[in-house]
């Protein structure tokens, strides 16, 4: 399939719209939830503590636990930005569906 061909099924546009609505609901709910904001503050603080103490850990098992914990912290802190990025990507995909004619370049051999 070439890049100029429509790559999404007609009902895929609806699926993308559903995904956008769901992700917007999640983002709005998280941003407005004071408990979630408290969790973010706590997780951020825990991440700073890990950053400040990792160099003093010589136990390989403990260091592995630190890495796993740090990855979990980063994932939690990136939940809202990740949902927002998914929204943007879905909107771009919908734009490509709606504006597929604009993406097809002129055939230079048949002017």
Tokens standing for residue 36: 């979630």
**Tens digits of residue pLDDT in 17-62:** 999 999 999 999 999 999 999 999 999 999 999 999 989 999 999 9
pLDDT at 107: 61
pLDDT at 5: 40
Interval 66-94 mean pLDDT: 96
- What is the DSSP track for the chain? --TTS--S-HHHHHHHHHHHHHHHHHHHHHHH-HHHHHHHHHHHHHHHHHHHHGGG---HHHHHHHHHHHHHHHHHHTHHHHHHHHHHHHHHHHHHHHTHHHHS---GGG-
Q: Within a 13 Å sphere around the CA of 107, how many CA atoms are in the beta-carbon half?
A: 3
| Pair 79, 30: CB distance under 8 Å | yes
pTM exceeding the 0.85 threshold for the entire prediction:
no
pLDDT at 108: 61
């Amino acid at each position: 399939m070439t890049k100029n061909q429509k790559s999404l099924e007609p009902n895929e546009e609806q699926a993308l719209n559903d995904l956008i609505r769901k992700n917007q609901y999640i983002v709005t709910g998280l941003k407005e939830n004071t408990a979630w904001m408290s969790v973010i503050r706590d997780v951020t603080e825990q991440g700073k503590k890990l950053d400040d103490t990792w160099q003093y850990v010589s136990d390989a098992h403990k260091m592995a636990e630190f890495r796993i914990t740090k990855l979990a912290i980063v994932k939690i802190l990136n939940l809202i930005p990740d949902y927002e990025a998914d929204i943007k990507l879905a909107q771009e995909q919908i734009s490509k569906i709606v504006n597929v004619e604009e993406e097809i370049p002129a055939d230079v051999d048949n002017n």
